[in-house]
Amino acid sequence: MTTASAPTIAINGVDLPPIGIGTWAWGDSLFWSYGKDYGEAQIAGAFHTAVNAGIKLFDTAEVYGLGESERIIGRLLKSTDQKLYIATKYMPVPWRLGAGAVRAALDNSLQRLGIEQIDLYQIHQPFSFLVSQKTLLQTLADAVADGKIGAIGVSNYSAQQMTEAHAILADRGIPLAVNQVQYSLLARQIERNGVLETAQTLGATILAYSPLAQGLLTGKYNSETVKNKVSGARKLDPRFTQRGLEKILPVVQLLTQIGENYNRTPAQVALNWLIAQGVLPIPGAKSSEQAQQNAGAFGWSLSQAELTQLDLLTRSWQ
């Protein structure tokens, strides 16, 4: 077994544990089953378990639960005196016109979160519509100068879009802190399309959303559970079918086998593989148990041979 002290990943000069919590499901009943299968009490348990385990980063967005995710985080922040790192996102939809709309959205997020500064503010999608990327990023740069934002990031940007955003911010002396993209053993496209390499070149951190492939890498989904338990966003994912599960089964089996060497779960092995790629995964957590499992993904290391095994088995997902 290879052990290591818990590493950190820097975002704009701030050292953070190499895993965060994604909060799309917090307060969201449109894509998830909030209010039915879980509620704020369970989320509070997940939050406090994560914080007590040393996790510092919580990522949300104004569109998650139509703002309810931010409100829940705002309430939870009042229940702890620990310094946490809060990230949220602005959605550049077409009916938002001009810099004023960006500033209003930022102020609304600050109000819902109940804080004076958002540590990391990201543009959720590389849409331009009637507001150019330059206007968007210049407005956010002004907000950094005003103290409302600590760092600026983007999400779902291509390598070229990332490079352009970096150049716009560089003119203001501000780094591009992150690009938040989908990345897991079952979604490795950023290794092939230049996003991962460009982020490394620009000094931007990759935040990996859906790092467990909507739970597929946990090993809890099979032909029987899919029949009875798939709900919300998973219903739209073709991987949650008999054929999809059959294709993924060898990956889950290898994760299970490797995990036995460390007394770790398949999910923890999958997350540790991502950490070894130098990215910061942000798995979701709707319960204390899920948060504890996420926290068990760091503080130890897979061997090079195990990393290579996982790499070779999942290259078809690049």
Better pLDDT: 145 or 37: 145
Higher pLDDT, 232 or 208: 208
Known catalytic residues are 64
| Residue 248 pLDDT exceeds 60 | yes
Range 134-166 burial, b when 16+ CB lie within 10 A, else e: ebbbbbbbebbeeebbbbbbbbbbbbebbebbb
pLDDT tens-digit readout, 76-87: 999 999 999 999
Is residue 150 within 8 Å of 120, Cβ to Cβ? yes
Mean pLDDT to the nearest integer, 7-15: 80
Query: Could you tell me which of 177, 200, 207 has the C-alpha nearest to residue 274?
Result: 207
When pLDDT is cut at 50, 70 and 90, the band that residue 238 belongs to is: low
pLDDT attached to residue 276: 96
Angle, CA of 42, 43 and 48, to the nearest 5°: 100
Note the pLDDT of residue 10: 79
Give the angle subtended at the CA of 271 by the CAs of 213 and 88, to the nearest 5°: 70
- Listed in sequence order, the residues at least 6 apart from 220 whose beta carbon sits closer than 8 Å to its beta carbon are none
pLDDT tens readout for residues 74-127: 999 999 999 999 999 999 988 887 899 999 999 999 999 999 999 999 999 998
- What DSSP designation does 59 have? E
Fold of 7-216+266-301: TIM Barrel (3.20.20)
pTM metric for this prediction: 0.93
**Mean pLDDT of the region 129-150:** 93
pLDDT beyond 90 at 194: yes
Structure tokens at 144: 């950094």
C-alpha–C-alpha distance, residues 313 and 311, integer Å: 6
How does pLDDT run across 254-292, given as a tens digit for each residue?
999 999 999 999 999 999 999 999 999 999 999 999 999
**Domain locations in the chain as residue ranges:** 7-216+266-301
> How sure is the predictor about 234, in pLDDT bands with cuts at 50, 70 and 90?
low
pLDDT tens sequence across 168-180: 999 999 999 999 9
Averaged confidence pLDDT in the chain: 91
